[in-house]
Amino acid sequence: MKSLQISFILLFSFLLTSDEATPVYGKGLPRDLDKLTPSDSSYPSWETGNYESVNPQRMKDIVHDISNIAKESKVRTPYWGRLPGTPEDEKTMNYIENKLIDLGFSIEKKDVFITKEWRPKEWSLGYTYNNEFHSIASAFPTGENIKHLDSNFKGELVWAGLGSEADFLGKDIQGKAVVIYSFFVPGGRSHSASNRAGLFYANERASKKGASLIINIMGVPGDGMFAGGAFHGTSGKPTTSYDAPVITISQDEGFLLRDRMLKEKIFVDFSLKIDVIENLKTTYMIAKLDGVSKEEIFLGAHTDGYFEGAMDNASGIAVGLEMAEYYAKLKKSERKRSIVFFLYPDHHHGEYSVREVEEYYDWDNVAVVLTLEHPSQSQLYWFNEDIVVSNAIGSFRWNVTGSDRLEYIFKQRLKENGVSIYNYMTDKPKLTDKAPGFHIIDHVIYHTTFDIPQLVPAEGMKRATKAFLGIVDDVNELSLQELR
């Protein structure tokens, strides 16, 4: 009996002190998805009695289908998703085209060429601790690496906190790797270490101070991966590339690395290879359903996405297809204006197709432009060391261009359908300013491996779809002049 007690004490002591045991830093995504995710049936339902043919399950099925297409790319490349010029890109477009043809839309497809695309093909990040090498599985390169097509680094690691000027006081980082903690503002693309955030400019500062490698711990509880595209904005403008390569890692692996840095000096080993693809061919699609008038309601949705891209932007596609379903079931005499659906594959890759269509399209004939982008996301909260998911729909950034009447219609229809928005709008439309338009967009989970169907509530898509249908009906009571 005594020997059993001693054995138990020794085992318990080992579990408490062993560095080989994998610690857990709070409940996190996607690690604890089964524990954290509400079921679709748990979301409070918002009913108005209007547009009852809208089918939330049909939209959710589409989100699953398009997410599954993206997952097919994982067997081919570590930089995966629905990327332009890939089999998944073509399969997604064909999936949408078949549905629209079945609904009676006429289809026009056109090739477009991305002048230059930067696409990481292989990379690795690891470190030596306790005389053993440990690979970091969540390491993922950002778009800030255009200067670093073939880069390697082996050297000492320095902790730099949030990466503010104060965090670098008394630290020599010349020729070393720097690890910086970065939190979402508001999501996977915009985080506090990036210039996009306008907060600490931490990555730029570390590069200017001579760092040879920058590692961002992404401050989301869990084991997620985080992608940042090479393009900033549109028209093929690449994002800033610093003198040091930048790579992101999960909070799980980042905090473990932090804890180990307290015990001994850490040396990292990093490599990255990026393919440069010139004149990459992809295809965009314009589908049309005629109405009584030649004037048009113009819907736009991008089809590309990082990882599964369930919210970004399978959810936008699903809402667009549900709207297409609604209009296809109306008699032509009941469609006061024609419906046009623009599907473009290069939103995260320069938006060459958007700029092309913007230049040649007859926007004087368009009553309103609706950009369908991220219309439903579970509301996430950081609660102490955990992340929690609620059975609420996230609030949205938004924009309206055109008349005051259009903005009033927009806000009223969102309000009556339970769609929450920020109290002021963003500074520009998502697609074009050549015709009156509007959009809503949520943003926390995008460009991450927890952008998955489980965090895209069917209820949220239903509310957004009903609101959009109501806005279009109200818009169809107004002339082009009243909308501008």
Angle between helices 458-475 and 56-71 in degrees, nearest 10: 110
Same domain, 304 and 399: yes
Same domain, 61 and 85: yes
In this structure, the strands spanning 293-302 and 337-344 are parallel
How would residue 417 be classed by pLDDT, with cut points 50, 70 and 90? Answer: very high
For range 103-121, the mean pLDDT: 97
Enter the pTM of the model.
0.94
Residue 176 DSSP class:
S
Residue 250 CB partners (closer than 8 Å, separation 6+): 138, 217, 218, 220, 222, 223, 224, 225, 226
CA distances 446 to 34, 375, 450, 482, Å, are 20, 12, 8, 36
Provide the pLDDT for residue 446.
95
Provide the pLDDT for residue 235.
75
Among 221, 242, 276, the domain boundary falls at 276
Provide the pLDDT for residue 5.
43
CA distances 143 to 185, 228, 385, 442, Å, are 17, 5, 29, 21
CA distance 319 to 478: 24
Give the mean pLDDT of the chain: 94
Residue 10 CB partners (closer than 8 Å, separation 6+): none
Residue 27 CB partners (closer than 8 Å, separation 6+): 35, 36, 221, 222, 385, 386, 387, 388
Provide the pLDDT for residue 10.
38
With respect to residue 146, please indicate whether it lies within any of the assigned structural domains: yes
Residue 136 DSSP class:
-
For range 324-340, the mean pLDDT: 98
Same domain, 106 and 140: no
Comparison of pLDDT for 233 and 113, the residue scoring more = 113
With respect to residue 438, please indicate whether it lies within any of the assigned structural domains: yes
Same domain, 429 and 293: yes
Same domain, 101 and 235: no
Provide the pLDDT for residue 240.
86
Report the helix count and the strand count for the chain, using DSSP H and E.
11, 17
- At 333-348, the pLDDT tens digits run 999 999 999 999 999 9
- At 40-84, the pLDDT tens digits run 999 999 999 999 999 999 999 999 999 999 999 999 999 999 999
Comparison of pLDDT for 22 and 113, the residue scoring more = 113
Query: What are the φ and ψ backbone dihedral angles of 412, each rounded to 5 degrees?
Result: -65, -45
How would residue 21 be classed by pLDDT, with cut points 50, 70 and 90? Answer: low
User: Is the pLDDT score of 189 beyond 90?
Assistant: no
CATH no. for residue 222?
Answer: 3.50.30.30
Among 230, 255, 276, the domain boundary falls at 276
With respect to residue 237, please indicate whether it lies within any of the assigned structural domains: yes
For range 284-305, the mean pLDDT: 98
Choose among 218, 217, 240: nearest CA to 157: 217
Q: With contact defined as beta carbons under 8 Å apart, do 192 and 183 qualify?
A: yes
With respect to residue 197, please indicate whether it lies within any of the assigned structural domains: yes
For range 400-407, the mean pLDDT: 98
Provide the pLDDT for residue 22.
80
List 252's β-bridge partners, or say none. none
CA distance 280 to 287: 23
Exposure class string for 455-465: b at 16+ Cβ within 10 A, else e: bbbbbbbbbbb
Q: Is the dihedral angle over the CA atoms 330, 333, 336, 340 positive or is it negative?
A: positive
Same domain, 317 and 418: yes
CA distance 255 to 257: 5
Among 276, 298, 318, the domain boundary falls at 276
Q: With contact defined as beta carbons under 8 Å apart, do 327 and 338 qualify?
A: no
Q: With contact defined as beta carbons under 8 Å apart, do 162 and 258 qualify?
A: no
With respect to residue 440, please indicate whether it lies within any of the assigned structural domains: yes
Same domain, 295 and 421: yes
CA distance 480 to 141: 46
User: Is the pLDDT score of 19 beyond 60?
Assistant: no
How many Cβ atoms from other residues are within 10 Å of residue 423's Cβ? 5
Q: With contact defined as beta carbons under 8 Å apart, do 70 and 307 qualify?
A: yes
CA distances 332 to 96, 104, 463, Å, are 22, 11, 25
Max mean pLDDT range (22-31, 233-242, 297-306): 297-306
Same domain, 132 and 105: no
Same domain, 261 and 318: no
Provide the pLDDT for residue 285.
98
CA distance 474 to 402: 14
Number of independent structural domains in the chain: 2
Same domain, 108 and 177: no
CATH no. for residue 73?
Answer: 3.40.630.10
CA distance 188 to 227: 7
Provide the pLDDT for residue 228.
86
Provide the pLDDT for residue 301.
98
CA distance 151 to 244: 9
Among 20-24, 138-142, 428-432, 474-478, which is the least confidently predicted range?
A: 20-24
CA distance 178 to 201: 14
With respect to residue 13, please indicate whether it lies within any of the assigned structural domains: no
How would residue 20 be classed by pLDDT, with cut points 50, 70 and 90? Answer: low
CA distance 162 to 138: 20
With respect to residue 384, please indicate whether it lies within any of the assigned structural domains: yes
In this structure, the strands spanning 267-289 and 150-159 are antiparallel
Same domain, 407 and 312: yes
For range 229-237, the mean pLDDT: 81
Q: Where are the alpha helices (DSSP H) in 87-173?
A: 87-102
With respect to residue 336, please indicate whether it lies within any of the assigned structural domains: yes
Instruction: Give the domain extent around 233.
Output: 117-276
- At 379-393, the pLDDT tens digits run 999 999 999 999 999
Same domain, 108 and 127: no
User: Is the pLDDT score of 197 beyond 80?
Assistant: yes
Residue 127, helix vs strand vs coil: strand
Place of tokens 């790797």: 177
